[in-house]
Structure 1
Amino acid sequence: MKKSFIWLFSLCLVLTGCGTLPTLTNNTNSLKVASHVEFGEEDYQDIVSSNNALGFDLLSTATRDDKGNIFISPTSLFMALSMVYNGADGITKEEMEKVLYAKGLTPNDLNKANASFMTLLDQKSEKIQLNIANSIWLNNKYHFQEQFSTTNKDYFNAEIKEIDIHNPQSPKTINDWVKSKTNGKIDKIVADELNPELITILINAIYFNGSWTYPFGKSSTEEKTFTLENGSTIQVPLMELHENLFYTRNNIFQAVSLPYGDASMSMKVFLPNENVSLKEFEEMLTVDQWQDWQDSFYKLEGTVLFPKFTLEYEVELKETLKALGMSSAFNNSNFSKMVEEDVGISISSVKQKTYIDVNEEGTEAAAVTSVEMNATSMQPSDNPFFMEVNRPFFIAIVDETSGSILFMGSITNPQ
């Protein structure tokens, strides 16, 4: 076993079958686009590279936890911001277009692409589950403009609910929705007391659960040494699998594909060569480079030793999005297409929470992104960010039918 045991992997979800559009059959999490909404079956292709590019931007700028780990969902953030985008205008709209890589797309194009993407992802099988849900919570003192609410209901199937922000039950109601949509893996996204200046909170939730096609035998799992980038070592449970799998290697890394269920989805595990750091690997990540790597796998018999771990991650993305060019959404913003009342609105917080559990049976992952918007009379505070440098792991959950990355992250300590 190599001393520098650095795992990098991509959880690549291959979703097959799109159904007849625009009508969509409902499922447990009600991922149903309105039947009268018109969009093309392949409109999702307009945002695939945009979704992935946003993910790579986040990976290079988002704060890591106290162990240096990061696990994010580009798709959850992309959909949440796309809903907010329907209420933006002027320079705020232009800056959001840049961050979403939506230049050249009209708002209607972006909405249709998201509806097409949600339809594509609305797939289930006996061993693979993927659910997406959207909700918008409005202070009952305000009223949404009809076009804003209708668009988000029709194209994003967003549940729009009015709340009394002074009622102590309102935060619980929001958190209960989050808990139900993530199968209990994320149980809280808002504080126990809502901001008195709150106007609205827009939330996206994603839940994934997949069983391995070739399960790891529990009897083969052993505690073994895992070397961190600083040279220190820890003991972690490593699972073992012997199988014919899709594999690739080059002068940067070796990688293997671990399928789920009927192999319509898979996890790809990237192990960088000893002379390549994870930081160097991350710097190589571009939309084009990512696609080249995905095209290079071939079938080969081999053995995989893979860490068993569970991770919970939380990040505030306000400073990240400002650094990416979306500054006016937080200050001097223009969301004049959102509510009927003549009131200034700005984003006060963009929070994301994620969860992942990798074990012998399969993988369970969840993400929730909330965008909190307040009256501009309230001056939001800037919180300092801390970034850990050690990065042994890279994670990306990808829908391979579209190529869109649903989850992404670097894991430095799987203990």
Structure 2
Amino acid sequence: MKKWLVVMIVVCVLTVLVWASKSGNMEDTRRFSNHLGYASGTVFQNEDYKKVVNSNNQFGLDVLKIIGGNKNGNTLISPVSLFMALSMVYNGADGETKEEMGKVLQSAGIDSIEMNKANASLMSLLQRNSKQININMANSIWLNNRFHFQTEFADNSKEYYHAKIQEINVMDKQSPKRINDWVNKTTNRRIKKMVESPLAPDLVAILINAIYFKGDWKYEFNERQTEKRTFHLTDGATKKVPLMELNEKLPYLETEDFQAVSLPYGDGKWSMKIFLPNENSSLEEFQDRLTFDNWEKWQTNFTVKEGKIRLPKFKIEYEQLMNEPLKELGMVSAFDDERANFSKLVTEKNQIWIDRVKHKSYLVVNEKGTEAAAATSVEMKKEMAPLGGPFQMEVNRPFFFAITEEESGTIVFIGLVSNP
């Protein structure tokens, strides 16, 4: 009878509306700052994150293009969530499987250690706090006490991702509760349950990465100005939705195809960028233009301009099985029970492959700011020119958005809203 190795990697990204209580400054970014709890000997260069930011962004845009949008539905993914999860799995891959994963992650030519250093640098950069923005990352590995990680894999997980490895008895009814309690606490009770009880007897490990972010808009929308207005759905129907209103000087971009505005959070180091296709265009046509090269070009063309934006209050709950999109991007052998090569993961000599990759996400946008959460699980089995005057932008039809960290340009969330 075949034994299975199941490794579940769960990445939880959470955005909360409350203000950060404490200001934090980056220390020497060649080593993880003490408040992050990383090994004092973990060394990386200040700008190592630049090696993976473009990879993360292009990977996210590639996945979004394949997933597409549902008619009168909404889509939301966290590129950072997916990228970090698969990067950790990448440490256990070898041969053809590692080569394919590197290409899909847009990281071909970067070895595992360089990727780990770049991810450590990115995690450190993203976790810089201010009075209004507070973000924290946490990782844990729950290992079946009958199995053993290879030393290099375990060391890399601890050193670069600060993953605390905890052994569990998968037959113990308290083990699922311990895992869910950790996720619940780490995500400020936004994600209460990630594993089912009882755990499968063939489970070997659950690896969890959690990101917690909280912040408000730099310029809050006035609730008294929010009013129900008409929103045009993809199929031609209309509905009344609450549109918030903001009059402010904001980074703005307009082309013959779309309007775009950047809404900053807190001290301006994070923002949500809204792209609204013109009335004679569509969200589907915008997606065709949403290439990495165009994204990079658009980021340099925003100029500060006074104007008014009306934006829907909206909520998205989304779930997507990522197997087929990742296969379509070229990550094929990792899902093949005969060709997969994860020989660097555990000491036991067994064939290991990815059974499924699932992504769940949640987002709420209102007058105060944004609340968002995302979880990625990887289960592995074993054997143009601005207009003159103030701009007017009423987001009353399907649109695209991205939440980014401004210094690095990292896309943390991207989404399509067809039905707010």
RMSD: 2.0
Corresponding residue for residue 380 of structure 1: none
Which residue of the other structure, out of 18, 24, 35, is the alignment partner of 2:32?
24
Name the CA distance, whole Å, in 2 between partners of 1:127 and 1:240.
22
SS state of the match for residue 108, structure 1? Answer: helix
Which residue of the other structure, out of 335, 338, 344, is the alignment partner of 1:337?
344
| Counterpart residue type for residue 30 of structure 2 | P
Name the CA distance, whole Å, in 1 between partners of 2:168 and 2:325.
29
1:42–1:286 Cα change, 3 Å: same
- TM-score normalised by structure 2 residue count: 0.86
1:293–1:18 Cα change, 3 Å: farther
1:395–1:195 Cα change, 3 Å: farther
1:202·1:372 contact (CA, 8 Å) conserved in 2?
A: no
- TM-score normalised by structure 1 residue count: 0.87
Name the CA distance, whole Å, in 1 between partners of 2:222 and 2:29.
41
Structure 1 residue 375 corresponds to structure 2 residue 386 = no
2:272·2:401 contact (CA, 8 Å) conserved in 1?
A: no
Q: 1:401 deviation in Å?
A: 1.1
Cα deviation code 1:335-365 (max 9, x no counterpart): 1111111222211222222221111111122
Aligned pairs for 1:89-108 within 5 A: 89-108=94-113
Which residue of the other structure, out of 350, 354, 357, is the alignment partner of 1:347?
354
Name the CA distance, whole Å, in 1 between partners of 2:269 and 2:90.
32
Name the CA distance, whole Å, in 1 between partners of 2:206 and 2:333.
18
1:63–1:304 Cα change, 3 Å: closer
Corresponding residue for residue 272 of structure 1: 277
- 54-63 or 210-219, larger mean C-alpha shift: 54-63
1:142–1:65 Cα change, 3 Å: farther
Which residue of the other structure, out of 141, 155, 160, is the alignment partner of 2:146?
141
| Counterpart residue type for residue 409 of structure 1 | G
Q: 1:393 deviation in Å?
A: 2.9
In structure 2, runs of 5+ residues without a counterpart are 1-14, 16-23, 384-396
Name the CA distance, whole Å, in 1 between partners of 2:138 and 2:358.
16
Corresponding residue for residue 405 of structure 1: 411
Structure 1 residue 184 corresponds to structure 2 residue 189 = yes
Q: 1:276 deviation in Å?
A: 1.7
Q: 1:269 deviation in Å?
A: 1.6
Q: 1:76 deviation in Å?
A: 0.8
Structure 1 residue 71 corresponds to structure 2 residue 79 = no
1:186·1:353 contact (CA, 8 Å) conserved in 2?
A: no
Aligned pairs for 1:16-415 within 5 A: 18-27=26-35, 31-62=36-67, 68-331=73-336, 332=338, 333-376=340-383, 392-414=398-420
Q: 1:273 deviation in Å?
A: 0.9
Corresponding residue for residue 390 of structure 2: none
Corresponding residue for residue 7 of structure 2: none
Name the CA distance, whole Å, in 1 between partners of 2:33 and 2:45.
16
Name the CA distance, whole Å, in 1 between partners of 2:376 and 2:138.
11
- 73-82 or 283-292, larger mean C-alpha shift: 283-292
1:166–1:395 Cα change, 3 Å: farther
| Counterpart residue type for residue 341 of structure 1 | E
Cα deviation code 1:26-79 (max 9, x no counterpart): 44xxx4432202211101111111101110111022376795211001111111
**Residue-pair matches, total:** 383
1:73·1:407 contact (CA, 8 Å) conserved in 2?
A: yes
1:207·1:365 contact (CA, 8 Å) conserved in 2?
A: no
| Counterpart residue type for residue 24 of structure 1 | F
Q: 1:170 deviation in Å?
A: 2.1
1:213·1:261 contact (CA, 8 Å) conserved in 2?
A: yes
SS state of the match for residue 342, structure 1? Answer: coil
1:249·1:255 contact (CA, 8 Å) conserved in 2?
A: yes
SS state of the match for residue 183, structure 1? Answer: coil
| Counterpart residue type for residue 239 of structure 1 | M
1:46–1:311 Cα change, 3 Å: same
1:396·1:409 contact (CA, 8 Å) conserved in 2?
A: yes
1:186·1:354 contact (CA, 8 Å) conserved in 2?
A: no
